[in-house]
């Protein structure tokens, strides 16, 4: 009986993960411009406060949703011979994506719920979303970058 052994292809992993990870800062640019547009020279709060305002913005929570969508469909364009562990990570990403879509819709249609949190709490909430998204992205990209070999 032949058993497949999967070998990590680091070059593929770093190129896929790097390209995927690049989507996060690109999505932050419009939110940062939105925050910069809302302040004047006289009311400039400082760089640290501006960063917290950007991360605490409601639109920042959609970054995880959009980046997870790319992560969920990435498996459909990959090779057919994927590591079995990848399907588990893809399923976890899909469940997390659905939860985030539901949360985003609830907060979108009921903005009073999102505004119940202060700026620091929303920044922490959005930071946790991004960290979990990056971890799932790393796991999915690691397992999709594995190449199967045959072990007898």
Name the helix (H) or strand (E) containing 45. Answer: none
Evaluate whether 9 touches 146 at the Cβ level (below 8 Å).
yes
Q: Hey, what are 96's tokens? A: 């997390």
Q: Hey, what are 122's tokens? A: 């929303």
Evaluate whether 104 touches 62 at the Cβ level (below 8 Å).
yes
pLDDT tens sequence across 90-116: 888 889 999 999 999 999 999 898 889
Place of tokens 């989507």: 23
pLDDT tens sequence across 14-73: 988 888 888 888 888 998 888 888 888 888 888 888 888 889 888 888 888 888 888 878
Q: In sequence order, which residues have a C-beta less than 8 Å from that of residue 62 and are 6 or more positions away?
A: 27, 104
Per-residue confidence at 4, pLDDT binned at 50, 70, 90? confident
Q: What global pTM score does this model have?
A: 0.82
Residue of 37 and 8 predicted with greater confidence: 37
The predicted structure's pLDDT at residue 24: 87
Evaluate whether 72 touches 96 at the Cβ level (below 8 Å).
no
The predicted structure's pLDDT at residue 76: 73
Per-residue confidence at 2, pLDDT binned at 50, 70, 90? low
Domain boundaries, the chain: 3-151
The burial class, CB within 10 Å (0-12 / 13-18 / 19+), for 82 is middle
Residue 80 has pLDDT above 70, yes or no: no
């Amino acid at each position: 009986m032949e058993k497949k052994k999967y070998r990590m292809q680091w070059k593929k992993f770093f190129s896929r993960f790097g390209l995927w990870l690049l989507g996060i800062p690109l999505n932050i640019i419009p939110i940062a411009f939105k925050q910069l547009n809302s302040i004047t020279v006289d009311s400039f709060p400082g760089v640290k406060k501006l960063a917290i305002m950007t991360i605490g913005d409601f639109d920042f929570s959609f970054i995880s949703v959009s980046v997870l969508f790319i992560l969920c469909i990435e498996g459909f364009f990959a090779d057919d011979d994927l590591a079995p562990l990848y399907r588990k990570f893809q399923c976890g990403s899909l469940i997390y994506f659905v939860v985030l879509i539901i949360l985003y819709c609830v907060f979108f249609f009921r903005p009073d719920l999102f505004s119940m949190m202060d700026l620091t709490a929303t920044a922490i909430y959005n930071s946790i979303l991004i960290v979990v998204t990056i971890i799932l992205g790393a796991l999915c990209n690691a397992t999709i970058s594995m190449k199967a070999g045959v072990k007898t």
